Amino acid sequence: MKRTLGFIGLGIMGKPMAKNLLKAGFPIVVFNRSRGPVEELVKGGASPAESAKGLAERAEVIITMLPDSPDVKEVVLGKDGVIQGLKAGSVVMDMSSINPLVTQEIAQKLKEKGVEMLDAPVSGGEVGAVQGTLAIMVGGEKRVFDDCIEILKAMGKNIVHVGAIGAGGYVKLVNQIIVALNIAAVGEAFTLGAKAGLDPQTVYQAIRGGLAGSAVLDAKAPMIFQRNFKPGFKIKLHHKDLHNALSTAKDLGIPLPLSSLVQQILVSLMVEGKGEEDHSALANFFERMAKVEIRSKGI
């Protein structure tokens, strides 16, 4: 019999991830601040909870998918939080992208209660969450990872145990640096092409099979060409991730000059009111400076 899961955080990523767990046959209890996603999941077979504490009292593995470190701390450790309802032997699996040092702090508090923790941030955006093809980088005890592998397989395709607790968060920061710098490079390069009068779709087809090709290029360039900035991953969230990367780099004593530059570009876009748009809108920064738009012909 499959273990009962609790899922907290039914946003752009969390809702489809929870749906995939339901499809895989896991009994699920759900909790979210806004009621709409909860009602949608309940129609699909989930059970609602009135608090994080109440959810933890009914679940054996509790999954959190929340915006940032303070949100995870509040939901797990706060008043009426997960820790108040946990039973010894339970597992908390945080799939949010947060500061690894905060993850380690939370894990220590849970360990005092006899509860194990995995940090399992994801990459792949909304499309990966919907299709169940997310890349999942997991930190924590290997035996706990092995015990939860079927749960992870219901949400992702490329699942790797990367080390001790907090290691998942560190790997996610590496991932987010590469993605942010890649999107910025795509935006800057295609701005050059657009200013030269080239059709971006033709440029894309010409370069995608060479060394410039990447998953980021394939996922984000068509969105830019079609002027579709509906969020799969929001600018404000990528700004948060780069902030965590820079903060962590400071603690480790290493410079991240390119990450610092792209983070400031994201700040500029947020000041313009674009924080809720997809991070592919990074291209808008370069378009504005060049007074050109990267748009496919006929759009």
Q: How far apart are the first and last CA of the chain?
A: 52
- How far apart CA 46 and CA 19 sit, in angstroms, is 9
pLDDT value at residue 156: 98
Is the Cα dihedral 207, 212, 218, 221 positive or negative? negative
Q: Choosing from 19, 73, 172, 234, which is the catalytic residue?
A: 172
Q: What φ, ψ does residue 116 adopt, rounded to 5°? A: -85, 155
- What length is written for the chain? 299
Pick the CATH number of 5-165 from 3.40.50.720, 3.40.50.1100, 2.40.37.10, 3.40.50.300: 3.40.50.720
Q: What is the pLDDT of residue 299?
A: 64
Alpha-carbon torsion, ordered 104, 270, 131, 181, to 10 deg: -80
Q: Which pLDDT score, from 0 to 100, does residue 232 have? A: 86
Pairing of strands 134-139, 122-123: antiparallel
Question: 75-107 in b/e burial notation, b at 16+ Cβ within 10 A?
Answer: bbebeebbbbbbeeebbbbbbbbbbbbbbbebb
Residues 6+ apart with CB under 8 A from 15: 37, 40, 41
3-state secondary structure of 103: helix
With contact defined as beta carbons under 8 Å apart, do 20 and 155 qualify? yes
- Kindly compute the dihedral angle of the four CA atoms of residues 48, 8, 86, 114, in this order, to the nearest 10 degrees: 150
Is there a catalytic annotation at residue 113? no
The number of helix segments (H) and strand segments (E) in the chain equals 15, 9
**Residue 193: what residue type?**
G
Of 1.10.1040.10, 2.70.70.10, 1.10.10.10, 3.40.50.620, the CATH number of 171-290 is 1.10.1040.10
User: Rounded to whole angstroms, what are the CA distances from 1 to 25, 27, 227, 252?
Assistant: 10, 10, 47, 44
Domain ranges across the chain: 5-165, 171-290
Q: What is the pLDDT along the chain (299 residues), one digit of tens a residue?
A: 789 999 999 999 999 999 999 999 999 999 999 999 999 999 999 999 999 999 999 999 999 999 999 999 999 999 999 999 999 999 999 999 999 999 999 999 999 999 999 999 999 989 999 999 999 999 999 999 999 999 999 999 999 999 999 999 999 999 999 999 999 999 999 999 999 999 999 999 999 999 999 999 999 999 999 999 999 899 999 999 999 999 999 999 999 999 999 999 999 999 999 999 999 999 999 999 999 999 988 66
pTM value > 0.85? yes
Closest CA to 121 of 190, 68, 44: 68
